[in-house]
Structure 1
């Protein structure tokens, strides 16, 4: 992109307070900070975390779509969704040819002196949104994994108690 290329900033639409409103309601920690009475409550917590992950993924897709529009689509970098082996999704910067990935790709692009300031500011906004969404996804996915694991452990403890109770009743 040459310094003489006219640049129109993209409207900031992807991560408005309205986009987060539904997530704020679903992600209340009230349901986490209480005594759990059985595996069912933990399974419900895990299910809620999965639903929040899906909503975060939609927000990520909106940011990727915005970052894929001109003038950003004319640059040598792309913001992409990357699915992990752990089952979550994160936003990553990649070069157009997919040869390099990571923050260094973004740093190299934003440091380009020929880049108009308005484009630099847009790239900065995308990077801040990427950082925040990745944090949120990481926390929610960790909550999902922990709740699922604890539900399995609680089910195992409940099974053992039933077995011991049955064995005592049979022998008594």
Structure 2
């Protein structure tokens, strides 16, 4: 499990496997507009990474936004022309790359540098979701969401400093449980 590490952060900087080396990483795949498991997992990951760093264990929290509309949902006639859609599936999603990027930037800003927010091309995200066995399915919007929603796996992966998947937890684990699990794994590494 794991191994596909080609992403870009919200500033457009490339993130490769080498960028995951040297510290414990709490990794979560979701989407920035999510109103279900993502808002539960993200603050816990950020707080856990902070607590680990305070105790001398190098750690960080990384969120990978998997919100690339399915093929055939929309195509822009020209870059940035969010209102000019063609070839969509018959209903208006009201969602485009500009909305997704704005949501990602807002999420990164909300955690003020304590959360790495990244995404990738359709091919990169497909490779990563397959490598990490992340389920995802586009569905009609949930309450509070615009465009569409995505049913997705809600595991928090623990990547060891050598980038291998050392373990995982459910998104609803407590900060204490997440921290203790990584401490046990770090002790074994």
Scaled to the shorter chain, the TM-score interval is 0.3 to 0.5
- Bigger helix share: 1
Q: Scaled by the length of structure 1, what TM-score is found?
A: 0.32
- Bigger strand share: 2
The higher radius of gyration belongs to 1
